[in-house]
Structure 1
Amino acid sequence: MTFTDLHQQDSPLLLPNAWDVASALAFAEAGFPAIGTTSFGVAAASGSPDGGRASKDATLALAHKLRALPAYVSVDIEDGYSDDPEQVAAYAASLGAAGVNIEDSSAEELIDPAAHAAKIAAVKDREPHLFVNARVDTYWLGQRATVEETVERARSYVAAGADGVFVPGAADPVVLRQLTDAVTAPVNVLAHPTLTLAELADLGVRRVSTGSLPYRAAVDAAVRTATGLRDGGSPPSATSYAVMQDRLVRYDREQGTRDPAERPRP
């Protein structure tokens, strides 16, 4: 089953977002056929706030490390880290990933949809088989957050070659149904506490991303572990050192031996 096929099943593709090799390996071992990266997690892990193109180098390095993963990898590349469509295309091509996620905002402001469409077209021209997930940030930023504006942007990105459309921040069932009815490409949303995967499937959603939630939950769990011990509690259960070390040893060995042709492709 190709990465594109994973967006055409009865249940939406649940894409967990990793921030480093260890988290990606854990998701792969849990049976996820595809894994995304999170620009927030990647940036935060290196001490930088999200956005502002701060995660460019770290994201590229992580994407290269994840090439040995036995799963499809979709990389969050913010706005493509450039205003120049050709530079965005060159960066996307250098990742060696099955897909990319590109947002239509920079510095917390929506950009001209024609400029974003040009980036998508350049990426698809250079890498036709790369799954381009075009992110529409109307609802995420609360700017021009209407169904009409969102659909207009989404349709222009699909016309430019986008394979999917991501609308983070949209969670109202009425809005989601209108979006999925109006957009021909698979619609992607963020996981939301009020909607199950089954309910999202009924609304026509084809992909659900966890975003930075696993990273933030992991940090919370780390703090709970430390404060629990400080306050007289017992250590919580966790994957053993030996198991996690074995994953990394096998991954390290496979990085150098696995034929790139055997790795999952779009």
Structure 2
Amino acid sequence: MSERRAAFHALHRRGRPLLLPNAWDHASAAALAARGHPAIGTTSLGVAATAGLPDGAAATAKETLALVRRLARVPVLLSVDVEAGFSDDPAEVADYVAALAALGAVGINLEDGRADGGLADPECLAGKVAAVKAAVPDLFVNARIDTWWLGVDDPLPQTLARARAYRAAGADGIFVPGIVDLDMLRGLVERIDAPVNALYQPGGPGPDGFARVGVARVSTGSLLFRAALAAALTAADGVRAGGLDAPAGLPSYAEVQGLTPVQPDGPLP
């Protein structure tokens, strides 16, 4: 196992959840790394919206690959949200993920939700997981189960069955977004033989609560991207209304410039 991928695996076994903030471009990733986050993920909504494309519709394969190429110089462990793999052909998904790994990605997030709002057959995602693990065995594959996220009836049995199928295919972690009930999360942690990833939601549990029930990883999903949009709109509205005091923590021009140092081999691609 490569040293960087081993380090990412180890972050899921610390006894306290790995907080994985999600970036959408070079500046957000570099800023998060500068704040001391050892690992970050990408947010598929942020990547898609930045490119003017829909999320969850297999429309951003090129944009995601280009972003990972730009992030290769950021000193951070990178996990990439690849939606459902941008294909239903396991071989194509494996080839795509191998290209991400060659650029330095140490993990991926692969989901079973479909663009039409339903769930893919578990065998479909399991086949993709198995193909990816065969191509890049030490890559951390986080299999996302969208039973709660999509509001299916009686989600627990389906979630556990899908978790077993994805683990049998080689998934390293299981992500079940949409749950804020800590007792339910504790039950999933106890019944899933893999690190469990939860999604942070405003008003829901924080890292301490997730830690108490054994959650291994907490993702911010699209929250930071949406918060950045909200801050931009608030600033614009303030200027239009007649004036705006500098928001707390506003980075200077020079600080933002410093996130993208010019390298001897030229600017970022």
TM-score normalised to structure 1 length: 0.92
**Is 1:225–2:225 an aligned residue pair?**
no
1:147 and 1:175 in contact (8 A); partners too: no
Corresponding residue number in structure 2 for 1:30: 35
- 2:125 pairs, out of 101, 116, 120, with 116
Corresponding residue number in structure 2 for 1:178: 187
- 1:244 pairs, out of 222, 233, 256, with 256
What is the Cα deviation at residue 254 of structure 1? Answer: 7.0
The CA distance in 1 between the partners of 2:118 and 2:193, in whole Å, is: 26
Corresponding residue number in structure 2 for 1:93: 98
Q: Deviations for 1:146-184, whole angstroms, at most 9, x for unmatched residues?
A: 211101101110111000000011221221111111001
1:225 and 1:235 in contact (8 A); partners too: no
Corresponding residue number in structure 1 for 2:221: 211
The CA distance in 2 between the partners of 1:162 and 1:139, in whole Å, is: 19
Q: Look up the equivalent residue of 2:240 and give its one-letter code.
A: R
The CA distance in 1 between the partners of 2:124 and 2:153, in whole Å, is: 17
Q: Look up the equivalent residue of 1:204 and give its one-letter code.
A: G
**Is 1:235–2:240 an aligned residue pair?**
no
Corresponding residue number in structure 2 for 1:63: 68
The CA distance in 2 between the partners of 1:44 and 1:254, in whole Å, is: 32
Residues 187-196 or 77-86, more deviating: 187-196
Corresponding residue number in structure 1 for 2:3: none
**Is 1:129–2:138 an aligned residue pair?**
yes
Aligned length: 255
Q: 1:180 to 1:256 in 2, by over 3 A?
A: farther
Corresponding residue number in structure 2 for 1:103: 111
**Is 1:18–2:27 an aligned residue pair?**
no
Q: Look up the equivalent residue of 1:105 and give its one-letter code.
A: G
Corresponding residue number in structure 2 for 1:42: 47
Q: Look up the equivalent residue of 1:246 and give its one-letter code.
A: G
Q: Deviations for 1:32-71, whole angstroms, at most 9, x for unmatched residues?
A: 0001000100000111221111111100100111111111
Q: Look up the equivalent residue of 1:181 and give its one-letter code.
A: E
Q: Which runs of 5+ in 2 are unaligned?
A: 1-5
Corresponding residue number in structure 2 for 1:196: 206
CA RMSD of aligned residues (A): 1.5
Q: Aligned to 1:2, what secondary structure does the other structure show?
A: helix
Corresponding residue number in structure 2 for 1:161: 170
Q: Look up the equivalent residue of 1:195 and give its one-letter code.
A: P
Q: Which runs of 5+ in 1 are unaligned?
A: 258-266
The CA distance in 2 between the partners of 1:173 and 1:89, in whole Å, is: 34
The CA distance in 2 between the partners of 1:78 and 1:255, in whole Å, is: 32
What is the Cα deviation at residue 186 of structure 1? Answer: 0.4
Q: Aligned to 2:148, what secondary structure does the other structure show?
A: helix
Q: Look up the equivalent residue of 2:108 and give its one-letter code.
A: V
Identity %: 51
Q: Deviations for 1:99-154, whole angstroms, at most 9, x for unmatched residues?
A: 00000122121011011111000000000011000000101111245211101101
Q: Aligned to 2:84, what secondary structure does the other structure show?
A: coil
Moved over 3 A (4+): 254-257
